[in-house]
Amino acid sequence: METDRDLIIIGGGAAGLTAAQYGARGNLSVLVIEQMAAGGQALLIDDLENYPGFPEPVKGFDISQKMEQQAVKFGAEITYASVASVKKEGNVFVVKTDRDELKALSVIIATGSQHRNLNVPGEKEFTGRGVSYCATCDGPFFKDKKILVVGGGDAACDEATYLSNLTDKIIMIHRRDRFRAQKALAERVLNNPHIEVRFNHELKEIMGSQKVEKVRLLNNRENNEYEEDTDAVFIFIGSIPQTAMIQDVKLDEAGYIVTDRKMETNIRGLFAAGDVRSTPFRQVVVAAGEGAVAAHSVSQYIDELRGEAYK
Ligand code: NAP
């Protein structure tokens, strides 16, 4: 079986880089294909305070760089390209990118997920001009300004807390009467004097001339619409798994890839790890753990394929 690599990993976030490190250290030839910059969603985390082994918060950027260095140290290669398709032909996976076509015995999908849009009038027009999906990236532009945060999950609570260090004028709206976020994160927001929480509120429109100036909100309990001045709108309403490059893989009802406990999908030799996988808890540590399991399973799969499995 002639292939370019034993293992191709699509996505260079915590799951992909950990899988690369484990795979390369286990003597597989490993290539990571990353679209943008290695690190994935973790890159955007300002203070990562729950990654084991780091009692003081670490920058997502710093830990991502270290994960990349560690994978490369053990022999993994990283290339930058956009993957168009993954197809299995016999026992070989053909991975087509915007640059070339590569063959591997096994593939791990670790493509993560991308932010979801609210799809309200003004959102697209004002993206980059007051509408943002990343507090660490854009928050500093709105120091001491008024900010509206939309969402009720972990991301919204985390990011609102980060923004509250930059301004004391934050309004956070959530469509229901309680947060979905973990209790610790929700309580941090509810007890934060810089954040005014308005439950049962929806964002209906974002308005302005050159940049965001105001929004139209709906109080869905009282069925009352009103306008509110704001300088920025930060939207954190969940994410969409990145699975477009692979056909015939089993997905759950939300579109995330279903695997068994070895991280193997319904397609033999195709594995998935991290935020793109159907999992109840999306964390950097979980993604890293899943990456390690996936690489270990790949190793066993390739041994079986080559008739070298130790039984
Ligand atoms: P999430 O947990 O899916 O929460 C999305 C939130 O957005 C929910 O509160 C949801 O409202 C709301 N929402 C969804 N669609 C909406 C719409 N069209 N209009 C208004 N609101 C809408 O997503 P997430 O917060 O991005 O987190 C994603 C994953 O990353 C989770 O597994 C989370 O645990 C993890 N994460 C963890 C941390 C951490 O531990 N520090 C930080 C960030 C993310 P409903 O509640 O009404 O459904």
Per-residue model confidence as pLDDT tens digits over 16-61: 999 999 999 999 999 999 998 888 888 877 778 889 999 998 998 9
Q: Is residue 310 part of a domain?
A: no
Q: Do 152 and 227 fall within a single domain?
A: yes
Give the tens place of pLDDT for each residue, 200-215: 999 999 999 999 999 9
* DSSP helix, strand, coil percent of the chain (3-state; round to 5): 25, 30, 45
Residue nearest to atom 24 of ligand 1 (CA): 238
Ligand 1 center to 104 CA (angstroms)? 35
Residue nearest to atom 38 of ligand 1 (CA): 154
Q: Do 151 and 293 fall within a single domain?
A: no
* Angstrom distance (rounded) from CA 8 to CA 6: 7
DSSP conformational letter for 62: H
* Angstrom distance (rounded) from CA 141 to CA 60: 20
pLDDT at position 227, please?
98
Question: Is 157 a residue of the active site?
Answer: no
Blockwise average pLDDT, block size 10, the chain, 311 residues: 92 97 98 89 82 92 95 97 96 96 98 94 95 90 97 96 97 98 96 98 97 98 98 96 96 96 98 95 93 98 87 62
- The domain boundary, picked from 235, 258, 278, lies at 235
- Which residues lie across from 48 on neighbouring strands? 58
Q: Do 17 and 85 fall within a single domain?
A: yes
- The domain boundary, picked from 204, 235, 266, lies at 235
pTM recorded for the entire structure: 0.84
Ligand 1 binding pocket mutation candidate from 48, 115, 175 (most atoms within 8 A of CB)? 175
Q: Which position has the token pair 């105001």?
A: 214
How many Cβ atoms are within 10 Å of 11's Cβ, its own excluded? Answer: 29
Q: Which position has the token pair 């930060």?
A: 234
Q: Do 174 and 277 fall within a single domain?
A: no
Q: Do 174 and 252 fall within a single domain?
A: no
Q: Is residue 271 part of a domain?
A: yes
Give the tens place of pLDDT for each residue, 147-166: 999 999 999 999 999 999 99
CB of 275 closer than 8 Å to CB of 290 = no
pLDDT at position 33, please?
97
Question: Which of 259, 251, 305 is CA-nearest to residue 93?
Answer: 305
Maximal C-alpha separation, the chain: 68
Q: Which atom of ligand 1 is nearest to the CA of 202?
A: 20
The domain total for the chain is 2
Q: Do 98 and 136 fall within a single domain?
A: no
Token pair in block for residue 112: 């993560």
- What are the pocket residues of ligand 1 if the criterion is a CB atom closer than 6 Å to any ligand atom? 118, 151-156, 158, 175-176, 180, 236-239, 281-283
CATH number at residue 101: 3.50.50.60
DSSP conformational letter for 41: G
The range of the structural domain enclosing residue 177 comes to 117-235
Q: Do 12 and 155 fall within a single domain?
A: no
How many Cβ atoms are within 10 Å of 237's Cβ, its own excluded? Answer: 18
